[in-house]
């Protein structure tokens, strides 16, 4: 495999022939607009919809109070003693808990009428105290986001040894720092959207959603609407990016589905960009306080850390507020081998938009914290940062390697990967350039990060976390018609990652069929088998693993058909390169088309053990996790006058196991690095003390463009996983995980400082303050 072929599925998109949510039209379709709270925390005393209802073209106006008795709240569960569940109503009816929470919905003949009518909905609010940060929310006397809960801490988790264990005193040197990752969001090209159509003749609700999780979304709709799964069909058409922000069930999806059943008309809702930034899922907003203990020779002795995660107003479905604190705890130790580790994590509810997944999740904090502390340690003991890392990396002979943080990593060669990055970057030449620049008074810095990405996580991982709303397996159905043409139906849909091409390559490689004879179907609960969906770099590991197992089952059946035809023992036969050869007659072969014809033709007598037709179905529970690894290196220069950062060179050395399509791998890495650069330098969702979003448009929430994105050099190793089918590992989040730490370390290296408080993004103002405050 590992062949870079063209992603044919993307050609129609480039020609403007895609079918996204907003491209889907029905002649009798209605449109909705939501009335959203301008307050972060307030009691709803009254919602007056009468004037809005009288507007021309308005079909209905409903408040949260009108519907809450008919719709069950979103209430994901987590089997963990430190967890508190929350009720998230599809529309608030008694109290709002964040700016942008929906309180009413207007249904009209077109979107513009609905938006105009929404201005006539009058809501009487009684403002309440605002919990504006996790620090405030953790105070014993803090107001409660949810009155029925004991505190604002939705999850508390600990792992490793006690933070006060005497083991931490063993090291000769201690380095510590506080790392703050900003609140961010994914900014997909296509905002969220949903269409629902209730078909009375079949009692079926058909839902088109820009979602990453069609089957899990159907589960959420079943729970909230109180109807059976066989009555709901969820379709993910072309989806213009997800990045994790579309892997949660949105309250709006539930409201639109309810309205379609109520009004017996197709209903459409699509976000505008400001609505997407304000009221779609946010991510991160984490403070990690960490300390590293080491010996004078640079050997790491131990690490202890505390993560405080601002998770917003509610638990999101299906992952809950536990997503960030659990993942951070498993990621902080990275690829390093040391003895003592202590971690405590908190998910704290505040009056902000709820948190969900975003590319990299808590793994981004792993290198941000560990690599930052390693750079501080290297400064303190006078050891080159690359040598310090190499000294502490787990060795190839250590696998399976149990991380100090708990996860068990399956395979890799971390020192060789670091060497590959150092060679590709010409590290020594970079250091020479830096020395020359410093002599000239220029601020040139080098940053690096070594890290692990846990991918394709199976049921064991989610069970241990207690995340019972995640299926954590995927499935594939593979069928061959009598002419030898193949169709595959897989539970992991695409949001632009090229799954159809990748899966077709898998089938072609395994069964020897030409790509033009293979059709792949994704994203439709009526045709694709039940599974988790696409997130956490699981499509190839989980969906591809299921598909590869399906091809193996199909090969087994083809061999049995050939054995029956030739009346020989099937142990003597093997399916190779799209055909089976007769060992007793070297010139006699049966192609896939021949075998398919035998499977479907009634004139060919098959043994009782072989059913007619060619169709197989596989549900696959992947390993607890398989671990990709990577090393990122960056050379940056800071303008001494403006403190603007210019990335002059960027290198990635990656190992994501068996590769199917190298071009797709590199595309994922480049896209991820670009988003990571945005996190490091530009992106931040800022709130004021009253819970008002200050960066609610793309004029304020800045994302990287072509000017901020460097040419990214990528070199690869390939260490197949011994645990996953096909040796696959995921790579979807790797670029985003490593880039923030790499850029941050390069900036601090350019400034020649060791900062105690590191807050991203490192804007010119923050860089200026870091430089001057640290020196003072």
pLDDT tens across 22-64, in order? 999 999 999 999 999 999 999 999 999 999 999 999 999 999 9
Phi, psi of 444 (to 5 degrees): -115, 130
11 against 204, higher pLDDT: 204
Give the mean model confidence (pLDDT) for residues 181-208: 98
Q: What is the DSSP letter of 231?
A: G
Contacts of 563 (CB under 8 A, 6+ apart): 569, 570, 572, 573
Rounded percentage of the chain residues whose pLDDT exceeds 70? 99
Rounded percentage of the chain residues whose pLDDT exceeds 90? 94
pLDDT tens across 462-516, in order? 999 999 999 999 999 999 999 999 999 999 999 999 999 999 999 999 999 999 9
- Whether 452 has a pLDDT exceeding 90, the answer reads yes
pLDDT score at 75: 98
Contact 361, 537 (CB under 8 A): no
Q: What b/e string do you get for 80-101 counting C-beta neighbours within 10 Å, with b at 16 or more? A: bebbbbbebbbbbbebbbbbbb
Which structure tokens are listed for 46? 């009254």
Give the mean model confidence (pLDDT) for residues 413-427: 99
Query: 774: pLDDT confidence band, cut at 50, 70 and 90?
Result: confident
Q: Quote the crossing angle between the two packed helices 545-566 and 592-600, to the nearest 10°.
A: 70
Give the mean model confidence (pLDDT) for residues 189-216: 98
Q: What structural domains does the chain harbor? A: 8-128+192-270 (3.90.1170.50), 365-456+627-775 (3.30.365.10), 473-516+525-620 (3.30.365.10)
Give the mean model confidence (pLDDT) for residues 311-333: 98
Burial class (CB in 10 A: 0-12, 13-18, 19+), 432: exposed
d(CA 12, CA 500): 13
- Whether 612 has a pLDDT exceeding 60, the answer reads yes
pLDDT score at 224: 98
- Whether 604 has a pLDDT exceeding 80, the answer reads no
Contacts of 16 (CB under 8 A, 6+ apart): none
Reported pTM: 0.96
Query: 434: pLDDT confidence band, cut at 50, 70 and 90?
Result: very high
pLDDT score at 603: 67
pLDDT score at 53: 98
Query: 165: pLDDT confidence band, cut at 50, 70 and 90?
Result: confident
- Whether 776 has a pLDDT exceeding 60, the answer reads no
Phi, psi of 468 (to 5 degrees): -80, -10
Query: 6: pLDDT confidence band, cut at 50, 70 and 90?
Result: confident
Q: What kind and span of H or E run contains 68?
A: none
- Whether 314 has a pLDDT exceeding 60, the answer reads yes
Which structure tokens are listed for 319? 């992952």
Nearest CA-CA partner of 736 in 673, 668, 682 = 673
Burial class (CB in 10 A: 0-12, 13-18, 19+), 419: middle
Give the mean model confidence (pLDDT) for residues 356-383: 98
pLDDT score at 1: 62
Give the mean model confidence (pLDDT) for residues 60-71: 98
pLDDT tens across 647-689, in order? 999 999 999 999 999 999 999 999 999 999 999 999 999 999 9
Give the mean model confidence (pLDDT) for residues 684-700: 98
pLDDT tens across 546-593, in order? 999 999 999 999 999 999 999 999 898 999 999 999 999 988 999 999
Nearest CA-CA partner of 405 in 458, 343, 322 = 343
Q: What kind and span of H or E run contains 558?
A: helix 545-566
- Say what the alpha-carbon torsion angle 505, 509, 514, 517 is, to the nearest 10 degrees: -60
pLDDT score at 519: 98
d(CA 671, CA 666): 8
Phi, psi of 545 (to 5 degrees): -65, -45
Contacts of 66 (CB under 8 A, 6+ apart): none
Strand-by-strand arrangement of the 122-127 sheet = 95-96, 42-48, 122-127
pLDDT score at 140: 92
pLDDT score at 174: 97
pLDDT score at 99: 99
pLDDT score at 335: 99
Query: 732: pLDDT confidence band, cut at 50, 70 and 90?
Result: very high
d(CA 539, CA 537): 6
Query: 2: pLDDT confidence band, cut at 50, 70 and 90?
Result: low
Query: Which residues are paired to 46 by β-bridges?
Result: 124
Query: Which residues are paired to 175 by β-bridges?
Result: 292
């Amino acid at each position: 495999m590992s062949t870079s072929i063209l992603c044919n599925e993307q050609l129609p998109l480039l020609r403007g022939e895609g079918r996204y949510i907003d491209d889907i039209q029905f002649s009798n379709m209605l449109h909705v607009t939501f009335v959203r709270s301008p307050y972060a925390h307030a009691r709803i005393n009254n919602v007056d919809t009468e004037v809005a209802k009288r507007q021309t073209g308005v079909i209905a106006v409903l408040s949260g109070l009108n519907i809450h008795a008919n719709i069950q709240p979103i209430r994901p569960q987590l089997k963990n003693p430190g967890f508190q569940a929350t009720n998230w109503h599809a529309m608030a009816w008694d109290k709002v808990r964040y700016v942008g929470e929906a309180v009413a919905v207007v249904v009209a003949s077109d979107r513009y009428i609905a938006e105009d009518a929404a201005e006539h909905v009058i809501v009487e609010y009684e403002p309440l105290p605002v919990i504006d940060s996790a620090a405030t929310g953790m105070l014993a006397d803090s107001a409660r986001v949810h009155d029925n809960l004991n505190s604002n801490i939705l999850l508390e988790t600990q792992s490793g040894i006690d933070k006060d264990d005497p083991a931490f005193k063993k090291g000769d040197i201690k380095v510590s720092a506080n790392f703050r990752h900003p609140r961010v969001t994914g900014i997909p090209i296509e905002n969220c959207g949903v269409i629902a159509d209730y078909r009375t003749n079949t009692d079926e609700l058909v839902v088109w959603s820009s979602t990453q999780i069609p089957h899990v979304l159907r589960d959420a709709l079943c729970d909230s609407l109180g109807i059976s799964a066989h009555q709901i069909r969820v379709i993910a058409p072309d989806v213009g990016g997800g990045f994790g922000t579309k892997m949660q069930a949105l309250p709006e999806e539930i409201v639109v589905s309810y309205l379609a059943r109520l009004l017996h008309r197709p209903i459409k809702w699509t976000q505008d960009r400001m609505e997407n930034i304000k009221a779609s899922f946010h991510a991160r907003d984490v403070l990690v306080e960490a300390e590293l203990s080491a010996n004078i020779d640079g050997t790491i002795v131990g690490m202890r850390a505390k993560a405080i995660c601002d998770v917003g107003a509610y638990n999101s479905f299906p992952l809950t507020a536990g997503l960030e604190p659990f993942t951070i705890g498993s990621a902080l130790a990275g690829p390093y081998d040391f003895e003592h580790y202590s971690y405590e994590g908190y998910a704290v509810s505040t009056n902000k938009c709820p948190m969900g997944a975003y590319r990299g999740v808590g793994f981004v904090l792993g290198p941000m914290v560990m690599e930052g502390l390693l750079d501080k340690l290297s400064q303190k003991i006078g050891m080159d940062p690359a040598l310090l890392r190499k000294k502490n990396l787990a060795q190839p002979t250590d696998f399976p390697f149990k991380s100090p943080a708990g996860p068990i990593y399956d395979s890799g060669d971390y020192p060789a990967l670091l060497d590959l990055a150092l060679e590709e970057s010409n590290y020594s030449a970079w250091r020479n350039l830096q020395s020359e620049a410093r002599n000239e008074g220029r601020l040139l810095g080098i940053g690096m990060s070594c890290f692990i990405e846990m991918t394709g996580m199976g049921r064991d991982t989610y069970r241990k976390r207690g995340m019972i709303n995640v299926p954590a397996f995927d499935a594939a159905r593979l069928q061959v018609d009598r002419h030898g043409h193949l169709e595959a139906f897989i539970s992991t849909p695409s949001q632009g990652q090229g799954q159809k091409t990748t899966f077709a390559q898998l089938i072609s490689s395994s069964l020897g069929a030409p790509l033009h004879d293979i059709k792949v179907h994704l994203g439709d609960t009526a045709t694709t088998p039940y599974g988790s969906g696409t997130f956490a770099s699981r499509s190839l590991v989980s969906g591809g693993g299921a598909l590869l197992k399906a091809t193996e089952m199909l090969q087994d059946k083809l061999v049995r058909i050939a054995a029956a035809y030739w009346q020989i023992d099937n142990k003597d036969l093997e399916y190779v390169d799209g055909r089976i050869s007769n060992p007793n007659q070297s010139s006699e072969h049966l192609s896939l088309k021949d075998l398919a014809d035998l499977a479907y033709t009634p004139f060919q007598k098959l043994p009782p053990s072989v059913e007619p037709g060619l169709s197989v179905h596989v549900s696959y529970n992947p390993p607890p996790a398989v671990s990709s690894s990577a090393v990122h290196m960056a050379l940056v220069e800071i303008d001494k006058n403006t403190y603007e950062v210019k990335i002059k060179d960027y290198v990635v050395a990656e190992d994501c196991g068996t590769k199917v399509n190298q071009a797709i791998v590199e595309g994922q890495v480049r896209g991820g690095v670009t988003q990571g650069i945005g996190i490091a330098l530009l992106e931040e969702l800022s709130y004021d003390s009253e819970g008002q979003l200050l960066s609610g448009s793309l004029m304020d929430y800045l994302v990287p463009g072509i000017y901020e994105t460097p040419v990214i050099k990528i070199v690869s190793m390939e260490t197949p996983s011994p645990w996953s089918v096909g040796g696959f590992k995921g790579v979807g989040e790797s670029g985003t995980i490593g880039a923030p730490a790499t850029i941050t370390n390069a900036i601090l290296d350019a400034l020649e400082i060791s900062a105690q408080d590191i807050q991203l993004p490192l804007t010119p103002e923050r860089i200026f303050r870091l430089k001057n405050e640290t020196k003072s």
